[in-house]
């Protein structure tokens, strides 16, 4: 596996499945990995706030025998107080790995190029690979073989959608994406997913009809309609996305045993009805838990050899 975890596109199909295997083993046998990262330190750069990302990385490092150190936007100010490269060269002298949750994807790429220690993409405006790994771990637990599934994503073709497409391509999962016109996933990300899925059985449907996307789905996934940094668009987006709410009417098009996924936080009665969010179909808190296990697998795989200052 590469030194860094920036995008699911960057890992092979074998590495993707191996990460899921490691995550499941860590979840089922946590004591076996208690000292996997003993004495190691992860710097956690946050330019966007987060409950799940901070808690799962910090708790994950603690449970693996190491420590996560939170760095707030005020302490870092990437590209303002000092360059991304200078931040990387400072941190690599002190820590064994870096996680970054940021706006511009270029910050992740530049940090990884400059740092000699592993860099993990905790989220960027382009992708959210740790979330997708947790999502596919959840799908595997609830549905078994990933290659037999159809995953439907409804809503904004955003960073979460991008990473789900890449994960589906690696897993050979069929995927349908239903978005309003003008809010489709980026063409370059669609192209990467189709390239990655050439030999896996991956199929991708892009449509502006949410019910067409949901037809015969094994799982329906959504995300907030207005992400951080888009607050000025909230009123307009709420009107545009209203027909894309995940509710009982939409689920009627899916398979009877279809499950509901959401990366959280959720805005009930916006992108998802309370009825669905609180129903037996919802596995959103299993997903949230699985962020911990998936990210432990990523950290163990990247940092397990303890190559600080290498």
Residues 90/114, Cβ–Cβ less than 8 Å: no
Q: Which of 162, 262, 291, 293 is the catalytic position? A: 291
- Tell me the two tokens of residue 37: 């990262």
Q: Is residue 96 flagged as an active site residue?
A: no
Task: Kindly write down the DSSP assignment for every residue of 226-288, as one continuous string.
Answer: S-TT-GGGHHHHHHHHGGG-B-HHHHTTS-TT-EEEE-S---BTTTB-HHHHTSTTB-HHHHH
Q: Is residue 101 flagged as an active site residue?
A: yes
Helix (H, G, I), strand (E, B) or coil at 37: coil
Strand 119-123 versus strand 204-207 pairing type: unpaired
Around Cβ 27, how many Cβ atoms within 10 Å?
Answer: 18
Q: Which of 263, 281, 293, 295 is the catalytic position? A: 263
- Tell me the two tokens of residue 57: 């990385």
Neighbour-count burial for 264-291, b at 16+ CB within 10 Å, e otherwise: eebeeebbbbeebbeeebbbbeebbbbb
Task: Give the position of tokens 């530049």.
Answer: 110
Q: Which of 223, 237, 281, 295 is the catalytic position? A: 223
Q: Is residue 230 flagged as an active site residue?
A: no
Q: Which of 9, 33, 52, 101 is the catalytic position? A: 101
Q: Which of 33, 52, 128, 262 is the catalytic position? A: 128
Q: Which of 96, 125, 130, 131 is the catalytic position? A: 131
Q: Is residue 13 flagged as an active site residue?
A: no
Query: Catalytic residue numbers?
Result: 101, 128, 131, 223, 263, 291
């Amino acid at each position: 596996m590469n030194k860094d975890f920036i995008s699911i596109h960057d890992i092979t199909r074998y590495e993707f499945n191996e990460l899921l295997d490691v995550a499941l083993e860590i979840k089922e046998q946590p004591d076996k990995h208690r000292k996997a990262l003993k004495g190691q330190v992860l710097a956690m750069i946050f330019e966007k706030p987060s409950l799940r990302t901070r808690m799962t990385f910090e708790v994950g490092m603690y449970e693996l025998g190491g420590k996560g150190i939170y760095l707030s936007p005020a302490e870092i100010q990437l590209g303002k107080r000092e360059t991304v490269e200078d931040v990387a060269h400072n941190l690599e002298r002190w820590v064994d790995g870096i996680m970054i949750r940021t706006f511009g994807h270029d910050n992740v790429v530049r940090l990884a190029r400059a740092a000699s220690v592993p860099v993990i993409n905790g989220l960027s405006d382009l992708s959210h690979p740790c979330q997708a790994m947790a999502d596919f771990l959840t799908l595997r637990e609830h549905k078994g073989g990933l290659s037999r599934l159809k995953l439907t994503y409804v809503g904004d073709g955003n960073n979460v959608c991008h990473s789900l497409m890449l994960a589906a391509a690696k897993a050979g999962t069929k995927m349908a994406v239903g978005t309003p016109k003008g809010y489709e996933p980026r063409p370059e990300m669609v192209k990467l997913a189709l390239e990655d899925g050439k030999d896996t059985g991956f199929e991708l449907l892009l449509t502006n009809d949410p019910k067409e996307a949901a037809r015969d789905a094994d799982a329906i996934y959504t995300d907030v309609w207005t992400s951080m940094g888009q607050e000025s668009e909230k009123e307009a987006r709420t009107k545009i996305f209203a027909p894309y709410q995940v509710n009982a009417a939409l689920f009627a098009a899916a398979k009877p045993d279809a499950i509901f996924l959401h990366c959280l936080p959720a805005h009930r009665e916006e992108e998802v009805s309370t009825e669905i969010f609180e129903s037996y179909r919802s596995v959103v808190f299993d997903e949230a838990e699985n962020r911990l296990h998936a990210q432990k697998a990523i950290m163990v795989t990247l940092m397990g050899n303890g190559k600080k200052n290498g």
